Amino acid sequence: MPDLPARERRADLEGVTRRVAARSPQLYESLRCFCLAGFSLLQSEVDAGAEIPFAFEEHDSQGRTTFYEFRPLLRAFVDNRAARLAELADTRLALERLQAEPPAAIFARAHAGAKVGEEEALLRTVLLPLLAETAEACGGFDWDDAAFERRYAELEGALYGSELTFVALAPLVGLSATGRVDLGTDISVRHAASGELARCWPEAGNLMPKGFGREPDRLCVLELERTLAKANGEVPDSTAELADALTALRLCLGGAIAQGPVVFERLDWRPYGIRAAVPIAAAVPPGDPARLDPFRAPLVREVRERVASADPDPELADALDRWELSLFQDEPFRSEQLRAALEALLGGGDGVWAATLRAAALLGETGRERAEKLSRLRSGDLGAMVREALVETLAYGDRTELIEALDETLLGLRARPAVELAAEAAASG
């Protein structure tokens, strides 16, 4: 695309500006000139022989024909030429205009972090993404006014809004679901939309679990979506929050459930980062896939909230860690971890023998059932029993109070303590 003389660009711009209800006409003008100049520079590089990289994507689903797509990595092409784009006169004018807009500085700090200089933050979070998104909407560097206007309208809405929308997505392995399932505190399980990750992260295909999007137990994502105040702009620790949710799914459903190796983060629907998942959450335990249904969803939601708040109780946190580690260990180390987890959970300083008695009282409703549970615990049948005891304890809430109530039950002073959500829902998984 030829580089227009300044007078012709201004005349052309005046005609376009009349069609756009820009909140800041000066900002609109400077950003449009930057994008026009950027298109001219990038097209000249293509004409000189520079190649736009492509991502090769396979689209497949059960019962449908597999098709393949070559997706141009225009965002990468733009980012690799950031230094040259930064030297353009129109870039300098656009940065000056952005610096005169206080909302732009807040937006840039939120997206780039406080350690990045203001100009670099504005370049990285406003100018280069706008240029790349316009190029993607145009399918290359053949300018289209309508495509720029749509991208600019989205940017202006993000700049002048009072809130930011943060989203973190983790592909799931070993879990199927009937639809969106709310797990509380802005976290949910839902089916992945076709191509949603590739649109923001063209390299996502190389970071996904094998078979994701094709196998029945590899169609869902774990999603954290939260509205943030722009004045603060502090994003949540998505990897930790999603790992806690995954622990709750493992506790309540059993099965070989895991996350993918990375968590994809967006801020205001723009790529924000790709972070490594918590290692134990990304490891796939042995077992069969599980299914999340409406019957067990309330239990998962309750347990997830309690897992997330377990840190103030060191014994409970230790029991959770040991149980989850046991999923990946062989005998005799697995049984040793489970005994230690049970002692931390219900021992109350009295040792594993007391924890075993309390667990039998917790899990058995009648004397006969408690005797059967005690026999299984003493014989080393610990895996499912410790998982159920953890779920019951988390659902009860106050672990210290629960231990006292179980002792009174064993002495015949009171009935078995009632738990709000029965572990039978977990045991049935």
pLDDT band at 354 (very low <50, low <70, confident <90, very high): very high
Higher pLDDT, 202 or 333: 333
Joined together, the tokens standing for residue 79 give: 């980012």
pLDDT band at 301 (very low <50, low <70, confident <90, very high): very high
Give the mean model confidence (pLDDT) for residues 331-339: 94
Give the mean model confidence (pLDDT) for residues 393-421: 87
Cβ distance 354 to 366 under 8 Å? no
Question: Tens digits of per-residue pLDDT, 221-264?
Answer: 999 999 888 766 678 899 999 999 999 999 999 989 999 999 99
pLDDT band at 70 (very low <50, low <70, confident <90, very high): low
Joined together, the tokens standing for residue 333 give: 């180390």
- Give the model's pLDDT for residue 189: 96
Cβ distance 230 to 236 under 8 Å? no
Question: Tens digits of per-residue pLDDT, 136-175?
Answer: 899 899 999 999 999 998 888 888 877 888 899 999 999 9
Cβ distance 358 to 403 under 8 Å? yes
21-56 burial code (b ≥16 CB/10 A, e <16): ebebeebbbbbbbbbbbbbbbbbebeeeeeebeebe
Joined together, the tokens standing for residue 184 give: 């509380």
**H/E/C letters for each residue in 276-301?**
ECCHHHHCCCCCCCEEECCCCHHHHH
Q: Is residue 425 scored above 70 in pLDDT? A: no
Calpha distance 304→422 (Å, rounded): 15
Mean pLDDT of the chain: 85
